[in-house]
Amino acid sequence: MPTKEKFYLTTPIYYTNGLPHIGHTYTTVVADVVRRFKRMRGYEVVMTTGTDEHGVNVERAAKKAGIPESEFVARMATEWRSLWYELGLNADEFVRTTDLKHVRTVQWLFKLCRENGYVYKDHYTGQYCIYDNAFVTDAKPGDNCPDCGRPTETVTEENYFFKLSAFQKPLLDFYRKNPTFIQPETRKNEIVSFVEGGLKDLSITRTTIRWGIPVPGEEPHVFYVWFDALTAYLSAVGGPEYERRGMWPADLHLVGKDIIRFHTVYWPAFLMAAMLPVPKQVWAHGWFLMDASKMSKSKGNVVLPRPIANMLGMDALRYFLLREVVFGQDGNFSYDALVTRYNSDLANGLGNLASRTAAMIEKNFAGRIPKPAARARQDDALAKETQSAIGEVLERYENMEFARALETIWGLIGAADKYLTSEQPWALSDSEVDTQRKAAILSTTAELLRIVTVLAHPVLPESTAKVWSLLGQPGSVSDVELDGLRWGQLAAEVQLGKAQALFPRVDKTEAIERIEAMANEEQSPQAAPAVAHAAAAATGSTGAAAAPAVSERIGIEDFAKVEMRVGQIKTAERIVGADKLLKLTVDIGTEIRQICAGIAQYYEPQALIGRKVAVVTNLAPRKLRGVESNGMIIAASVGPEGRPVLAGFHEDVEVGARLK
């Protein structure tokens, strides 16, 4: 068997001072997409992520939580790991900087740098906060501590220094010989001019921090931030024995634009000093902004991934993150845009094409994909368009142009919709000739759908697997070799799989409300783990800013503003085009109201008639999917999907009675 070419990629080793938000999720999603794409191109792929667990912030957070540092970081690592697992973002390696294998690697790298003459001991002078026991990076004499606001003092301590200044020329030579090392191009110019401006030696140990990897035989020296954290990429794939695993150097480090300098200047310099192979590429992406400002815990505008995944599915979030913004640039995040894309591109686009194609094959060919005897010119035209899109999509993925890759794929979906509209298979009769024509149209559409499914798989792993089994295609879509993909490979005369809901359409207002409610719940002090809050508090961000109003107590006068009454359901029916809504008429004693309720997936309309429910009667009327709703039925929201359970009464109550 031929040996596969390897591909090693990493996300940053995330700092455990809080829980993952959409920024971390973005990097990890991109890494996961690249990983799946490269596997489908036949590479042996390893993806690494992990947690950066040392430093003074962790020391403080652990103290605040009243537990040892080791226990604090173990809890944080578990939370990060389980969130990634929950979101289907499972890296092949999860490295913790407190792992023994990592500790060994850092100490080994230091030894190599020192043996080669690039490490020396000197005095470091900086602004120090006595209260927080920490140097304040980039502070000048007279500056206050950003964490506690107290004045800093100028303190000198003995440190080990790395001779970064010796690497100005080697780095510039390296950038020249490896013109694609720094991506995107705009970042490259920024780094090159930074290095051309001259490099200062770098302090890589501290004696004022306790919670770190010790420098062997040099206690109390511990390694400082970057020498520790960056090395995790190497420890994940073997450390000192990296040659055995065969994955080093990394092919791709994915980073946020704020940490590109450390990855393209410090990291290659450390490796050059140790005479180890240097990574092939560092790709810096932009930030998702909320209302044009950077997300931060203190601003309370952090977007969390879990509520979105619960409401719309993880595929929807993956699609949005990659489709909305050109990779490398900053973009705006808004729930409105997210749900709009979901409804237009996923529900009405891919989801609709898949379900209508399957429904027509079901109806006309008893659920077996037909094999046409002849094809028309327009069928061949669509085949040609699809075939030429394949190469284009692969190239765009390869160049990290995810938005454009998806644009091309969705162009095919649009072409199929147009084709169906003009061919109108539903208008054809059951005559021999018409049936032959229907066979050609539906097999052409199914083949396009198969190719779209394969091409979209790296971004939409869950839903494309569903379409694949709906089409009754053999094996798993993730095993399809992208380079062998071409028109005409559709397995015909196979039975379609069971239809399953792909992307049910959602009411925008309702969906956003649900996502926000779940996000509030996750960020409330009661719901979130104590350990995360201690960390948030310790890093100076105010958990309170992000905390929702739900935990706030209200006076009786506020409660009295809400009028709730016993109502009895008189009629109930489904609303065409709204899978989740039921239209109800409810007797509230004084009048009959029309009320929409998002319970259609869990309650049969017929079973509701006569049932007594709790109704908010003084809510301003609003329209849900074009239907007026005058009041609100109270229901509990149960489980991660928010399954509604109607509130009711165990004893007989009079219709119209007020709830107090």
* Closer residue to Zn ion (CB): 9 or 129: 129
Residue type present at position 190: E
Q: Beta-carbon neighbour count of residue 108 at 10 Å?
A: 18
- CA 254 to CA 418: how far, in whole Å? 38
Which residue's beta carbon is nearest to the bound Zn ion? 145
Stretch that binds Zn ion, among 126-134, 220-228, 264-272, 604-612 (CB under 5 A): 126-134
Q: Which helix (H) or strand (E) holds 153?
A: strand 153-162
- For residue 184, whether the previous peptide bond is cis, meaning omega lies within 30 degrees of 0, is yes
Q: Give the nearest distance from C-beta 226 to Zn ion in angstroms.
A: 22
Q: One symbol per residue from 138 to 177: x for binding Zn ion (CB under 5 A), - otherwise; what is it?
A: -------x-xx-----------------------------
> Helix-strand-coil percent breakdown of the chain, rounded to 5?
45, 20, 35
- Nearest by Cα to 8 from 185, 215, 246: 246
Stretch that binds Zn ion, among 129-137, 208-216, 464-472, 534-542 (CB under 5 A): 129-137
* Closer residue to Zn ion (CB): 148 or 544: 148
Q: Give the nearest distance from C-beta 535 to Zn ion in angstroms.
A: 17
* Cα diameter, the chain: 92
**538 in contact with Zn ion (CB under 5 A):** no
Q: Give the nearest distance from C-beta 131 to Zn ion in angstroms.
A: 5
* Closer residue to Zn ion (CB): 129 or 455: 129
**132 in contact with Zn ion (CB under 5 A):** yes
Q: Give the nearest distance from C-beta 127 to Zn ion in angstroms.
A: 10
* Closer residue to Zn ion (CB): 147 or 522: 147
Q: Give the nearest distance from C-beta 72 to Zn ion in angstroms.
A: 20
Q: Beta-carbon neighbour count of residue 117 at 10 Å?
A: 10
Contact 409, 475 (CB under 8 A): no
- CA 84 to CA 88: how far, in whole Å? 6
- CA 620 to CA 630: how far, in whole Å? 7
Q: Give the nearest distance from C-beta 126 to Zn ion in angstroms.
A: 13
Stretch that binds Zn ion, among 128-136, 239-247, 384-392, 561-569 (CB under 5 A): 128-136
**237 in contact with Zn ion (CB under 5 A):** no
Cα torsion for 388, 371, 449, 347, to the nearest 10°? Answer: 150
**59 in contact with Zn ion (CB under 5 A):** no
Stretch that binds Zn ion, among 84-92, 121-129, 266-274, 566-574 (CB under 5 A): 121-129
Q: Give the nearest distance from C-beta 534 to Zn ion in angstroms.
A: 17
* Closer residue to Zn ion (CB): 131 or 559: 131
* Closer residue to Zn ion (CB): 32 or 132: 132
- CA 545 to CA 295: how far, in whole Å? 13
Q: Which of 9, 129, 213, 511 binds Zn ion (CB under 5 A)?
A: 129
Q: Give the nearest distance from C-beta 298 to Zn ion in angstroms.
A: 16
Residue type present at position 275: M
The 3-class SS string of 269-318 reads HHHHHCCCCCCCCEEEECCEEECCEECCCCCCCCCCHHHHHHHHCHHHHH
Contact 447, 22 (CB under 8 A): no
**131 in contact with Zn ion (CB under 5 A):** yes
* Closer residue to Zn ion (CB): 138 or 430: 138
Q: Give the nearest distance from C-beta 147 to Zn ion in angstroms.
A: 4
Could you list the residues that contact Zn ion (CB under 5 A)?
129, 131-132, 145, 147-148
